[in-house]
Structure 1
Amino acid sequence: MSYKFKFFAQPIVTNIKTFVEVAFIEFSIGVICAFFAYTYYDGFIQVFVGCLLIALVCLFLTIHNIYVVLKIRKEQKLRDVANNS
């Protein structure tokens, strides 16, 4: 006897449109988690490790998004120069 699912999880709709907005949000989350990791350094080691890991991942993703934005702008400039020639 099987159960039929009538409802499925819907995708999350956000109003984030650019890489810069995503980088800013990830940077903000990384700073907040880094603050919590610094605060709980002597206290709960589980909270420290978790917050430190999240902060490092968020900061890495911020750097990656900034790199992608710069790469896209460089490619657009090269395309514009090639189209104008």
Structure 2
Amino acid sequence: YPNNIVENNAVASGTHFGYWYCMVRTSDGQSFAIYRNICPYRQIFDRFVNNSVHSVGRFGVRIFLEYSPTVAGSRSADTPYQAVFDELIA
């Protein structure tokens, strides 16, 4: 899920993607019972800072399906939130 700290990492020599986020609409697996109201595709990025990616086959950063972050990260209509990728070198 996007609400993580990702900083000071380097990715190289992948066949497809460097950083890949699969944003699903609801929690799944064992998390579903506990986090039933969490919407991963609406969660904010905590920090994505000073990361690099090179020599990958397709995309340096791939956000799959849909990503529509909001301030509260909920399903209901909420204030949009801008995701920021600081100091990404690709």
Query: What TM-score, normalized by structure 1, do the two folds share?
Result: 0.27
The structure with the largest helix share of the pair is: 1
The structure with the largest strand share of the pair is: 2
Name the larger-Rg structure.
1
